[in-house]
Amino acid sequence: MPGLTWFNRLPAPAAEALLLDCYGSHRWSLRVAAHRPYPDLDALLAACDEAAYDLSPADVHEALALECSTGICPDAPPAAQTALAAAHAAYESRFGHAFVICLDGHRADEYLDQVLAGIRRRLAHEPDEERSVSADELRALARCRLAHALTEHTQAGPVPEYAREHARR
């Protein structure tokens, strides 16, 4: 996979920045970047999972604080936009962070229903249970985001702007 070769060869600050864009924990991104090179995508994703399972609640909170609530297509009906905004507001008011959900495996036309159903279901959770569910969703999102980033970039490609910007922080 050319993207994996590219990732393995990135300077450490750029790799850490790319990873930070996938999962907003500095500890997680440092750990995953430090274990390069990875022989294949499965090994990289397994390392991502392992690093995420080892995070403290404060590390997960750091990542959640950087997440934004998912929006929907701007050409969606106004009622759908209103319903989604209200659902996100209720969730954020109850739990103090953005609602996160990995929609991998769902078609784009199912996203709105999946998000609204997920928010309704998860609003019934106790805070400790929801922290655990949110951590699981963040792990799944990180895997998807990283796999996507690697498929978009080739070994010869430049370091993306977001990686350069995060490296400056």
pLDDT tens-digit map of 7-31:
999 999 999 999 999 999 999 999 9
Domain holding 16, by residue range, is 2-64+136-168
Instruction: Tell me: do 114 and 146 sit in the same domain.
Output: no
What average pLDDT score do residues 60-70 get?
A: 91
What average pLDDT score do residues 31-40 get?
A: 97
Helix (H, G, I), strand (E, B) or coil at 143: helix
pLDDT tens-digit map of 90-105:
999 999 999 999 999 9
Can you tell me the distance from the alpha carbon of 40 to that of 103, in angstroms, rounded to the nearest whole number? 24
Instruction: Tell me: do 112 and 98 sit in the same domain.
Output: yes
Structurally, the chain folds into a number of domains equal to: 2
Instruction: Tell me: do 86 and 31 sit in the same domain.
Output: no
Average pLDDT, the chain: 88
Residue 127 in this model has a pLDDT that exceeds 50: yes
Question: Under a CB-based contact definition with an 8 Å cutoff, are residues 60 and 25 in contact?
Answer: yes
